[in-house]
A = this chain, B = another copy of it.
Amino acid sequence: MSDNRLSHYDSEGRDSMVDVSYISANKRTAAAHAFVSMKEEVLAALPRNPKGNPLEVARIAGIQAAKKTSELIPLCHSLPLSHADVVCTVREDGIEITARAATTAQTGVEMEALTAAAVAALTIYDMTKALDKAIEIRELFLIEKTGGKSGDYRRQAGAE
């Protein structure tokens, strides 16, 4: 951590959108993780018929949220995503969410992947909250990123 500064701060300590005008556009990807912890009975009630499924609604909500990231995160740059995807998997004690995003741009897509995972998790919450108000979203973190000046990153197992 040679340069101990927060991003989004200019030389006078004012927050601003980081100026990326002189950074060249290159391919960047990111993957994020979230977990929605819920009671066994709620998990059992998740419908499995093709007509409607909280996990499917959550996937679509997550993909759409990835496209809205720069509206939600004030100092985040807007960029055209070349790819966004969300996978929801039923685990023993909840739903595991993995979100991926990619672009060819001057800034990375970590926030897009994290926002997609967060909104997918909130959507599952919304659709199951009538059964279990103690549902908890946790382990929302970056799994990996590629591209960009700061290089690739991959979260180490058992990092938290």
Residues of A within 8 A of B (CB): 1, 4-10, 12-21, 23, 27, 29, 37, 41, 45-54, 56-57, 59-61, 63-65, 67-68, 70-87, 102-106, 110-111, 114-115, 118-119, 121-123, 125-131, 133-142, 145, 150, 153, 155, 159-160
Contact = CB atoms under 8 A, between A and B. Distances in A.
A126 B37 CA distance: 24
Number of copies: 6
Contacts of A85: 10, 14, 16-17, 19
A5 B130 contact: yes
Contacts of A23: 82
19 contacts: A6-B45, A13-B52, A16-B59, A16-B85, A16-B86, A21-B29, A51-B56, A57-B60, A61-B74, A74-B123, A110-B133, A118-B119, A118-B122, A130-B150, A134-B155, A135-B142, A136-B139, A136-B141, A137-B140
Contacts of A73: 61, 119, 122-123, 126
B83 A6 contact: no
Contacts of A102: 19, 21
